[in-house]
Amino acid sequence: MKTVLITGASRGIGAAIARIFAQNGYHTFLTCAHHTEALFALQRELERSFGIPCTAIPCDMSDAEAVERLFAQLPPLDVLINNAGISYFGLLSEMSVADWHRVMDTNLSACFYTCRLAIPHMVRKKSGRILNISSVWGQTGSSMETAYCASKGGLNALTKALAKELAPSNIQVNALAPGFIDTDMNRCLSAEETAALITEIPADRAGTPEEAAALAWQVVNAPAYMTGQIISIDGGWT
Ligand code: NDP
């Protein structure tokens, strides 16, 4: 049975990705740091609905030692999906150093922590897929979200560089760059702010976590010659 680790799967895009992999027969490993009840509820739902083994392991992905303890409990992975992420809204000049590191550690360093532990087995097998959930902001930038944009821009560069490093071992590394997706991450926006954002999107609506997850599944299952790509899903926004 194939194995997948999806980080940040207690809700939103990560939970939707977990449903697709479980539906397709994967032993699905899920993490989150805070909403562990939701994570265990998803574990039960996937086992009941799809008859696959699903393992939920609370883990703060921004903590390198916690990620080492996580991997000590995992079998070799066929697919690694680095999805856990946090946003931060505010002026850069008013951001604390602690908040900067929290965004960077969760959105960028966590990807390093998981990749370095997942890669050796993939290299031995000469197969494996890594998908990083980035953002259109990593390419275009956005006012009031400088740290978030920097973390996602870093994730894009990591994706491209690592893809080159691992292509000789037949391991594909790609990133998804969603635009505005209807999840808890955007609940801090007022109804007016959401409406104003949507007027800028040609598709005239937010994307759904299920649409992002459907593309994640397709990218993981794309021909092996596709690697090092940042693939947008944004309703024509950028
Ligand atoms: P949500 O806030 O709905 O979900 C974020 C997930 O990440 C939760 O499961 C959360 O779990 C988990 N998480 C956060 N911090 C940690 C941590 N330190 N360790 C482990 N898990 C953690 O957001 P989305 O589903 O929207 O976001 C998923 C990804 O998609 C993120 O990387 C985000 O940047 C990206 N994205 C989202 C967009 C959008 O418009 N929604 C647009 C572009 C990109 P818990 O809180 O329980 O720990």
79-82 and 3-6 beta bridge pairing:
parallel
Mean per-residue pLDDT over the chain, rounded: 98
For residue 13, what pLDDT is reported? Answer: 99
Ligand 1 neighbour 138 (Cβ under 6 A): no
Ligand 1 neighbour 30 (Cβ under 6 A): no
Distance 48 CA to ligand 1 centre (A): 25
Domain assignment of residue 32, yes or no: yes
| Pocket probe mutation, ligand 1, options 185, 188, 234, max atoms within 8 Å of Cβ | 185
Q: How far apart are CA 10 and CA 182, in angstroms?
A: 15
Domain assignment of residue 22, yes or no: yes
- Non-local (6+) Cβ contacts of 26 within 8 A are 1, 2, 3, 4, 52, 78, 79
The whole domain housing 125 covers 3-233
Quote the strand ranges of 7-127, DSSP E: 27-30, 54-56, 79-82
pLDDT tens across 16-26, in order? 999 999 999 99
For residue 3, what pLDDT is reported? Answer: 98
For residue 20, what pLDDT is reported? Answer: 98
Ligand 1 neighbour 102 (Cβ under 6 A): no
Domain assignment of residue 238, yes or no: no
pLDDT tens across 128-180, in order? 999 999 999 999 999 999 999 999 999 999 999 999 999 999 999 999 999 99
For residue 186, what pLDDT is reported? Answer: 95
Q: How far apart are CA 207 and CA 54, in angstroms?
A: 27
Instruction: Using a pLDDT cut of 70, give the percent of the chain over it.
Output: 100
Residue 83's pLDDT band (boundaries 50, 70, 90)? very high
CATH number at residue 107: 3.40.50.720
Q: Is 113 a catalytic residue?
A: no
Q: How many domains does the chain have?
A: 1
Marked catalytic residue, from 26, 88, 113, 148: 148
Domain assignment of residue 66, yes or no: yes
For residue 192, what pLDDT is reported? Answer: 97
